[in-house]
Structure 1
Amino acid sequence: MSKKIMLFVILSAMLIVIAGCGGAQPSTEGGADGGSAAAETVKLRLGHIAGEGDAWHKGALKFAELVKEKSGGTVEVEVFPSSTLGNDRDLIEGMQLGSVDFALVAGVLSNFHQPMSILELPYLFRDQAHLEKVLYGDVGTQLKQDLLDNAQIRGLEFWVRGPRELTANRPINSVEDLKGLKIRVPEIPASIAAWEAMGATPTPMAFGEVYSSLQTGVIDAQENPLAFIDSNKLLEVQDYVMLTNHVYGYVLLTMSDLTYQKLNEEQRKAVEEAAKEATEFENNLVAEQETQLVQKFKDNGTQVIEVDTAPFMEKAKTVHAEFAEKYGQELYDSIVNVQ
């Protein structure tokens, strides 16, 4: 009799445990098809290579704030600046694997979808207005779709940057002064070829290595937008800024498509709306900074040189035809012809 009672107690306890486990499972009703949101908060990671003072980081924080608000707290985004999650290539590969959810990346995307190389050609864009018409028009829309189709990276929104300028440990007053200059460039074939055409000695390098390489003399120069130069304290190890305006560039707020597919419709909508609003915030911030930074540099003792860009442009454009033929003459022409 005692054995029967003991067996009854054990079976009863097992049923209670099973019932309890079943009730603890988070709701997945709807899921990616758009039903009710999961009970548990989805925590996602956004990485970028810029410092905490950069407009990228401030824009990323605004994006995270908006995602949480618009998703009703069901999606939270943690932002990792300063290459904490890796360099550009690491971030892109992480999104393809699903270990990184969002990233702010630019030219290195061309290593994963080659036609993006064309956007990195020095002196491709006439000015900032030309860049914005391309990015926010049909060309930009098609580029984002092609990136998704070919690399499984979802381009949410293009953010604008100030034009890329040259910094060096010696003054560069003319294109002839570039001869023998060891300049760090991103790992982008178009950038490498154009700087070679201008007479420099380009050295492809991940951005996280740039400060120490300038400090130790491994390289003599680098090129980036003024805000990026400032927020990453590069003028601690460089004495001259040359206003070459050689690339009017972008950064793309990207998302792992693997992550996107795991969200329900309401969460996807929250992410997309947050991306649009954060874009306006970041773009306005960049515009404000650009008007202030040249004076800040001068006040801090940096020599700022306004070069005649025409000879630089003439040399750089000698590689345009090669890259247009290689990566898409139609794309190149559609960019150049935007009015």
Structure 2
Amino acid sequence: MKRIVAMCVALGLFCGLALSIAPSAEAKTVIKIAGMKPEGEPETVGMHKFGEYLEKLSNGKYEVKVYPNSQLGKEDSYIDQTKRGTIQMCATGTQMSKFHPAMAMLETPMLYEDLDHAHRAMKGDTFKLITDGFAEKSGMRTMNVFPLGFRHFYTKNPVKSIDDIKGLKMRVPNIPLYTNFAKEAGISGQPMPFAEVMTSIESGAIDGGDSPLSDIASTGVYEYAPEVTKTGHILVLHSLFINDKFYKNLPEQDRKWFDEAAEMAAEDVWKLMVQADQDAEKKITAGKGKISEPTPELKKYMTEAGERSWTLFTDPNSKQHVPNAKEILESAKRYAK
């Protein structure tokens, strides 16, 4: 009996020693974040940067797994997964306007003079006015905002005048913001998935479309429509979104880590955007694409078309009416130089 007691005491001492030297760090919590863009593009860079910052700030408590290039399904699917809490986070843009119409105003046509103007507006009251009430309606929280670039035309033939714009058959995303702007500009907007663009250009069903330079370069669409006109008519802005219930259940210190990581990641993307556009231009021109600036007359025409399209948000009878649209527009203008 004494021998058994001695063995138990020894075993207890051994277990105690083992526990004392075992690492006390908490198990990592895996955060899943989904997006639609491929590796190397600004959205995906922003997701990876967020992960790096969060892991560092939390001393490894959180591990972020990035699922780019629609690996977890199409945009609507991973938005729904985030809303339900199946995954914690996602990256997207104006698709969130289905929950909160004001989110579409992030990409209001011809609203920003340049990236610096947009950056000031997004760091200031404009972004707050747009996102006010979003979490309550969607079950998700907006963590930051960052650019994917200004949209420019890519066409089979050069666009040098207003007459060259009018009547063009151009692919547009099937979103009221885009179809309405195309109409105001005299363009025959053809809503279709991007996957159909190349074959539609080849068949003559469309004359081209519009995208940020990084998309034009990465997809190779310039090989089918080599004339790129830098109209910069819409700035594509995306955000990181997080399931609101998950966020609220985080300890206070952890929420601060998430907030800080998201802010730093967004600032990195704003800084790299200029270089990203320059790299895209080099790839396009090396691939026999041609890049040109619009004439002052064409730029003025596009600006006026953009401002006419704002009634989509300001008109009380519009299905996309945003109650504080005029306040948002006025706020953005105040951040111009």
Match of 1:280 in 2: 267
Match of 1:335 in 2: 332
What TM-score, normalized by structure 2, do the two folds share? 0.81
CA distance in 2, matches of 1:212, 1:70: 47
Instruction: Please give the root-mean-square deviation of Cα atoms over the aligned residues, in Å.
Output: 2.5
Moved more, 237-246 or 168-177: 168-177
Q: Secondary structure at the match of 1:248?
A: strand
CA distance in 1, matches of 2:228, 2:211: 10
Contact 1:134–1:335 under 8 Å retained in 2: yes
Letter in 2 for 1:72: N
- 2:309 paired with 1:319: yes
Match of 1:228 in 2: 215
Match of 1:149 in 2: 136
Contact 1:166–1:244 under 8 Å retained in 2: yes
CA distance in 2, matches of 1:215, 1:85: 31
Give the total of aligned pairs: 303
Structure 2 segments unaligned to the other structure (5+ residues): 1-23, 316-320
Structure 1 counterpart of 2:90, from 103, 119, 128: 103
Distance verdict in 2 for CA 1:145–1:318, change over 3 Å: closer
Match of 1:3 in 2: none
Moved more, 246-255 or 192-201: 246-255
Contact 2:217–2:281 under 8 Å retained in 1: no
Moved more, 50-59 or 189-198: 50-59
- 2:64 paired with 1:77: yes
Structure 1 segments unaligned to the other structure (5+ residues): 1-36
Match of 1:140 in 2: 127
Q: Secondary structure at the match of 1:104?
A: strand
Contact 2:223–2:287 under 8 Å retained in 1: no
CA distance in 1, matches of 2:37, 2:162: 29
Instruction: Report how far residue 79 of structure 1 moved.
Output: 0.8
Contact 2:217–2:283 under 8 Å retained in 1: no
Letter in 2 for 1:287: V
CA distance in 1, matches of 2:260, 2:169: 43
Moved more, 147-156 or 322-331: 322-331
Instruction: Report how far residue 130 of structure 1 moved.
Output: 2.0
CA distance in 1, matches of 2:191, 2:71: 20
Q: Secondary structure at the match of 1:161?
A: strand
The CA deviation string for residues 194-222 of structure 1, in whole angstroms up to 9 with x for no partner, is: 11111222233445555565566654322
Match of 1:192 in 2: 179
CA distance in 2, matches of 1:101, 1:158: 17
What TM-score, normalized by structure 1, do the two folds share? 0.80
